[in-house]
Structures are given as structure tokens and as C-alpha cells.
């Protein structure tokens, strides 16, 4: 549609004010109606919107930051390559010495695995651009297992699982949450990372008990599994309450406090029954007028913890119910 050139000139003069919402309502309506029918002025307005000072500054700032980040990545990558080259020096020296004196490759293998562990902690974070912590932990654990494997081989073998399983379990408790946080899981599992951590640690706990008890026979295995089961039942109940119970924090805190006081009070009695078929209720021996025997002291402490836990949990649950109603 053809427009009066004077009208286009007027609208184009108003475009900066129209873009900043600084013109009068009547002028805004005039510009809006004109832009709806005039392709030339609409194009000018789009160019204005795409080339404002703020957009230009934002684009230039982003480009500067990207160039700086790229420069830093290149420097880090070069530093990682240099460190990796330096770590090869003791490996080559050990290899030459081992071949020269005919002592075999046992020491060479251990030194190589040790340098891989150092590289996992230094080189991997420098040369990785994404998920550095996860890669660092996985490479470090792998290198540590190689060290255990080669040391075990040098000492005649047969001890690798006895050393490695407890080691992996201990490391998993600390580092597996950090690893799985950076992992990309299928959509069906993306919101279940906490549950995966619990299942993983539970399985490794039982595998560790089995590995350690393997030498001692089924008796120690039974004892370890019973104690671990009583322990993990409490841990799983805590997890399920905190993670999945659809109530507020005060109610969760009250339920966890109650669960903790009950678990502390009766877990030893449950273990005694399952292990030795001994039916006892320690709190029955409570007597606050005397604190002489171990049984009496334990009973008194258990009663205090149980009563305090019930009172505190009742208070927290009451507060939670009141807040929920509000």
C-alpha cells in the first residue's frame, strides 16, 4: 500500500520513541497503524530493534567472553598436554630400568598406573571441556583400581577383590552423588538420581560385607548382613520420608526424629534377637536412681532418647500441621 511520504517521515522520526515506549498514546497508535500497512517502515523498525545500543553491547560482550573462554580453554589444553608429557618421563625411566636389570614389568606397571592417577587429577580436568568433575572421578577410580590390580599381581595375586570392593564402596559413598549429578540419564530416570544413589550404595555395602566375610565363612557373613540390614532399613526409611513423603518440612522433621529415637532405642535388641535368638528389651532395665552397670546406663539413655524424641517429634509434627492448614 502506498503511503504519504510525509507520514512515513513522521513515523520514522517517532520510531525510536515508539520502541522505548516514550511517545504519547496517540502517537503510539498512529505508529502502530502505520507499521501494520507499511512494509518499508516495518523493515526500518525491525532494523532498529535489532541494532539498539543494548543489543550491540550485549552481542559484543558475549563475543568477548566467548573469545576469552576459548583462549582459556586452549591454554588449559596446552598445559594438560605438557603435564601429560612430563608424566611420561618417570614411566619411560622405569620401563628402561626394568628392562635393563631384568626385574620384569611389575614396578613399571605400578608406576604407570600411579601416573595415570596423577593424570586423572591434573590432565583430565585441563583437557576436558564438559563434565570435568565426572571424568576426573571416573578416571581417578579406574587408575586406583589398576594400582591395586598390579600391586596384587606383584604380591602373588588373590587379593584384588578383597582390596578393590571396599575401596570402591568407600569412594562411592563420597563421589557417586557428584558423578551421577553430571550424568545424562534417560528421561524416565532423570528425576530418580537420589534413588539410584541409594540402590547403588546399598548393593556395594552388601558386596563389601560379602567380600570381607568370604575368608571367615558364612557365620561372619550372616552377622554382617543382619547388622547391615537393620542399619539400612533405618537409612531407607529416612530417605523415603525426606524424598517422597508429600508433607512439609516440619512434619518430615518430626517423623525423622521419631524414627531416629525408635531406631536407636530398639536396634540393638533387634540385632540380638536375629543374631543370638535373645529376646530382650533393654529399656525395661531403666532405673534413674542408679547408673552402675552397662545395661542400666544403656537403658536409662535409651529411655531419655525415646521420650525426648517423642516430644520433639510431636512438637514438629504439630507445627507442620498448623502451617499446612494456614
Q: Which range, of 97-106, 168-177, 260-269, 282-291, averages the lowest pLDDT?
A: 97-106
Please provide residue 189's backbone torsions phi and psi, each rounded to the nearest 5 degrees. -110, -5
Contact between residue 211 and residue 169 where contact means Cβ atoms under 8 Å apart: no
**What CA–CA distance (Å, rounded) separates 93 from 160?**
27
Distance CA 324, CA 226 (A): 39
Confidence of residue 309 (pLDDT cuts 50, 70, 90): very high
Return the DSSP state at 247.
S
The dihedral over CA atoms of 62, 68, 73, 75, expressed in degrees to the nearest 10, equals 170
Q: Do 18 and 34 meet the contact criterion of CB atoms below 8 Å apart?
A: no
Task: Please identify which residue in the block is written with the cell numbers 546406663.
Answer: 297
Nearest to 283 by CA among 270, 269, 272: 269
Using alpha carbons only, give the angle 74, 76, 81 rounded to the nearest 5 degrees.
Answer: 95
Contact 46, 35 (CB under 8 A): no
Global pTM reads 0.70
Instruction: Quick: pLDDT tens for 54-79.
Output: 655 566 667 767 777 788 878 888 88
Tens digit of pLDDT for each residue in 224-273?
Answer: 888 899 989 999 999 999 999 999 999 999 999 999 999 999 999 998 88
Q: Could you give the CA distance from residue 23 to residue 11 in angstroms, rounded to a whole number?
A: 11
Amino acid at each position: 500500500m502506498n503511503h504519504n511520504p510525509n507520514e512515513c517521515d513522521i513515523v520514522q522520526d517517532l520510531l525510536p520513541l515508539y520502541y522505548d515506549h516514550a511517545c504519547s498514546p496517540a502517537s503510539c497508535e498512529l505508529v502502530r497503524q502505520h507499521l501494520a500497512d507499511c512494509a518499508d517502515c516495518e523493515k526500518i523498525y525491525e532494523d532498529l530493534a535489532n541494532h539498539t545500543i543494548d543489543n550491540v553491547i550485549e552481542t559484543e560482550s558475549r563475543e568477548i567472553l566467548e573469545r576469552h573462554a576459548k583462549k582459556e580453554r586452549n591454554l588449559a589444553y596446552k598445559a594438560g598436554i605438557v603435564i601429560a608429557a612430563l608424566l611420561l618421563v618417570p614411566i619411560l625411566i622405569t620401563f628402561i630400568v626394568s628392562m635393563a636389570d631384568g626385574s620384569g614389568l611389575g614396578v613399571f606397571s605400578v608406576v604407570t598406573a600411579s601416573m595415570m592417577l596423577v593424570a586423572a587429577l591434573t590432565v583430565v580436568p585441563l583437557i576436558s571441556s564438559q563434565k570435568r568433575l565426572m571424568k576426573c572421578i571416573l578416571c581417578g577410580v579406574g587408575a586406583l583400581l589398576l594400582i591395586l590390580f598390579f600391586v596384587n599381581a606383584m604380591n602373588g595375586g588373590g587379593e584384588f577383590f578383597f582390596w578393590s570392593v571396599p575401596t570402591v564402596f568407600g569412594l562411592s559413598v563420597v563421589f557417586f552423588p557428584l558423578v551421577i549429578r553430571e550424568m545424562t540419564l534417560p528421561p524416565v530416570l532423570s528425576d530418580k538420581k537420589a534413588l539410584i544413589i541409594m540402590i547403588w550404595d546399598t548393593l556395594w555395602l552388601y558386596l563389601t560385607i560379602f567380600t570381607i566375610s568370604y575368608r571367615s565363612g558364612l557365620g561372619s557373613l550372616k552377622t554382617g548382613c543382619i547388622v547391615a540390614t537393620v542399619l539400612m532399613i533405618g537409612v531407607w526409611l529416612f530417605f523415603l520420608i525426606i524424598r517422597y513423603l508429600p508433607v512439609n518440612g516440619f512434619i518430615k522433621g518430626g517423623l525423622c526424629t521419631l524414627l531416629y529415637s525408635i531406631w536407636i532405642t530398639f536396634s540393638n535388641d533387634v540385632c540380638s534377637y536375629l543374631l543370638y535368638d535373645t529376646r530382650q528389651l533393654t529399656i525395661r532395665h531403666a532405673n534413674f536412681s542408679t547408673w552402675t552397670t552397662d545395661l542400666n546406663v544403656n537403658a536409662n539413655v535409651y529411655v531419655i532418647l525415646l521420650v525426648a524424641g517423642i516430644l520433639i517429634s510431636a512438637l514438629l509434627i504439630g507445627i507442620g500441621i498448623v502451617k499446612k492448614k494456614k
